């Protein structure tokens, strides 16, 4: 082959390489999957609502919900650049950013678009008739209890461990005092409480949570909280002191201040500024449609979506920050 032809082929190969690299990058930006949780979960529905809001505002943008790994798993995948956008919890963000709790190493390639999308709590349910009035009394009396949580490695289970720590005990103490600890699924927990085989159940709670709702309607549980001092201790893990209004669940006759956290729309630093700006704008200006899609968004305060206290210490994406500054929501 002549040198001239080889040179031309080399140039064509370089051009094609650049084309394919650019095309793949464009596709990655335009074909977005919002990591959520399993199909049917609150987060999956919320992610679908967010995707719909974005597509309504920008019909050419391809974005959908994806049933992925939940708050902890989503962040770990983003840390490996295997996912570019997901729902997370603000306290999960704090753990990931600092490399604590369920994260062995800090994850620093994440950025936020909007926080405070809803309100979650750490629900502390005791079996009605168990005689348990407070977790602090359990510690004081070294009372034998049967505790159940969801599986290890999840936000719900980590929250249970944090609550126990805040009141002065841990799983080993419960076992040492003659009790039992079981990490399982919602179905097993529901059946155990119905059958009188579980005394305390601690798990992430939202208004209308199906497991808590069913057990409350059946008169099987009472919701309790922990002391102000214990609530204060949980702030280092990113929990806020969050009021759960009375009558949120059947039999709840008073307001309860519980440890709380809120959902955040989180992305990686590889997302381009324009895409981040558009998604942020669509979410912040789409609350009415979001609430119609899922009532969990009723607690969303758009003007505060870019406030640091709603983001778990993770910086705003530059594209999101540009939008909030234009609106006058942040300086």
**Residues 73, 11 within the same domain:** yes
Say which CATH number the domain at 100 has. Answer: 3.40.190.10
Which of 60, 117, 62 minimizes the C-alpha distance to 84? 62
What is the pLDDT, as a whole number, of residue 188? 95
Last residue of a domain, one of 261, 282, 305: 261
**Residues 162, 57 within the same domain:** no
Last residue of a domain, one of 261, 287, 313: 261
**Residues 235, 151 within the same domain:** yes
Which range of residues forms the domain containing residue 56?
A: 3-118+264-327
**Residues 255, 125 within the same domain:** yes
Give the helix/strand (H/E) hosting 267: strand 263-268
**Residues 197, 281 within the same domain:** no
Backbone torsions φ then ψ of 303, nearest 5 degrees: -65, -15
What is the pLDDT, as a whole number, of residue 41? 84
**Residues 176, 165 within the same domain:** yes
- pLDDT tens, position by position, for the chain (331 residues)? 444 444 433 433 433 333 333 333 433 445 899 999 988 888 999 999 999 999 999 999 999 999 988 889 999 999 999 999 999 999 999 999 999 999 999 999 999 999 999 999 999 999 999 999 999 999 999 999 999 999 999 999 999 999 999 999 999 999 999 999 999 998 999 999 999 999 999 999 988 888 899 999 999 999 999 999 999 999 999 999 999 999 999 999 999 999 999 999 999 999 999 999 999 999 999 999 999 999 899 999 999 999 999 999 999 999 999 999 999 999 9
What is the domain count for the chain?
2
Give, in order, the Cα–Cα distances in Å from 67 to each of 36, 44, 87, 248: 5, 6, 11, 28
What is the pLDDT, as a whole number, of residue 70? 87
**Residues 31, 105 within the same domain:** yes
**Residues 197, 90 within the same domain:** no
**Residues 257, 124 within the same domain:** yes
**Residues 108, 237 within the same domain:** no
**Residues 286, 194 within the same domain:** no
**Residues 81, 33 within the same domain:** yes
Last residue of a domain, one of 261, 276, 309: 261
The CA-to-CA distance between both ends of the chain, in Å, stands at 63
Backbone torsions φ then ψ of 35, nearest 5 degrees: -65, 130
């Amino acid at each position: 082959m002549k040198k001239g032809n080889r040179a031309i082929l080399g140039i064509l190969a370089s051009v094609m390489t650049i084309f394919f690299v650019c095309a793949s990058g464009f596709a990655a930006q335009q074909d977005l999957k919002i990591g959520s949780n399993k199909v049917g979960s609150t987060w999956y529905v919320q992610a679908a609502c967010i995707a719909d809001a974005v597509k309504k505002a920008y019909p050419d943008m391809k974005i959908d919900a994806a049933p992925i790994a939940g708050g902890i798993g989503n962040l770990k995948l983003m840390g490996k650049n295997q996912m570019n956008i997901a729902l997370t919890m603000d306290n999960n963000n704090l753990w990931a950013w600092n490399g604590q709790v369920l994260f062995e190493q800090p994850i620093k390639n994440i950025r936020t678009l909007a926080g405070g999308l809803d309100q979650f709590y750490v629900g502390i349910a005791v079996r009605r008739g168990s005689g348990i009035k407070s977790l602090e009394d359990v510690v004081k009396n070294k009372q034998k209890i049967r505790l159940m949580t969801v599986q290890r490695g999840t936000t719900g289970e980590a929250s249970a461990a944090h609550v126990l720590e805040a009141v002065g005990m841990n799983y080993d103490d419960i076992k040492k005092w003659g009790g039992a600890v079981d990490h399982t699924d919602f179905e097993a927990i529901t059946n155990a409480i119905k059958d009188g085989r579980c005394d305390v159940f601690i798990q992430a709670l939202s208004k209308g949570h199906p497991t808590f709702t069913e057990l409350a309607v059946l008169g099987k549980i009472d919701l309790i909280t922990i002391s102000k001092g214990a609530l204060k201790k949980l702030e280092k893990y990113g929990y806020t002191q969050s009021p759960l209004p009375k009558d949120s669940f059947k039999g709840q006759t008073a307001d309860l201040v519980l440890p709380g956290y809120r959902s955040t729309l989180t992305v990686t630093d590889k997302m381009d500024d324009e895409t981040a700006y558009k998604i942020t704008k669509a979410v912040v200006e789409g609350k009415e449609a979001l609430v119609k899609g899922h009532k969990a968004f009723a607690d969303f305060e758009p003007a505060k979506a870019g406030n640091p206290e709603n983001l778990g210490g993770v910086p705003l994406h530059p594209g999101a920050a540009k939008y909030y500054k234009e609106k006058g929501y942040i300086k």
